[in-house]
Amino acid sequence: MPNLAGKTALVTGASRGMGRASALALAADGAQVLVHYGRGAKEADAVVAEIRKAGGRADALAVDLAAADGAHKLAKQSRSIIGDRLDILVANAGISKAATIEETTVEDFDRLFTVNVRAPFFLVQQLLPILSKGSSVILSRRSRHIPFSVRSRSRPMPQPRALSTRL
């Protein structure tokens, strides 16, 4: 495992699932970790407590990434804690809705797009000034639900269960 001592990391959606696992792994390797959550304060606090119990440094940040200024608020809160250097961004927060295309409303689509596409884009934009040379930006998505599906009498196409891109 790499030694991340002296490195800083922000993990969105870190209160559970892959975000939680990422936050714990980064902390175990020595990084100071910002544990973002939109809901689940209790779970996020448990992640922070686990990191601190193991001797690591962590803080929880509550920001709703569905809000128009969510990415800006998260970047601002992050900078207030870590200052002017971020080494690792794991953009893991995401939402899904188990619905067919016919059942999906404009409001559903807008919320999905806002959290899953717009928020990570503008979070990276807001954090660019503090991402140092050699920084990692990891865009991670894992969902049990495929956001949209079409009912069909023909044989359905295989659907991917997860997509993870590392830049």
pLDDT digits (tens, 9 = 90+) for 19-40: 999 999 999 999 999 999 999 9
Exposure b/e, 108-144, CB count within 10 A at least 16 = b: eeeebebbbebbbebbbebbeebbeeebebbbbbebe
User: Using CA atoms in the order 55, 27, 88, 82, what is the torsion angle rounded to 10 degrees?
Assistant: -20
- Single pTM value for the model: 0.82
Task: Output the pLDDT for position 104.
Answer: 93
pLDDT value of residue 132:
80
pLDDT averages per 10-residue partition of the chain, 167 residues? 88 96 97 96 98 98 97 98 96 91 94 94 95 87 45 38 36
CATH topology of domain 8-145+162-166: Rossmann fold (3.40.50)
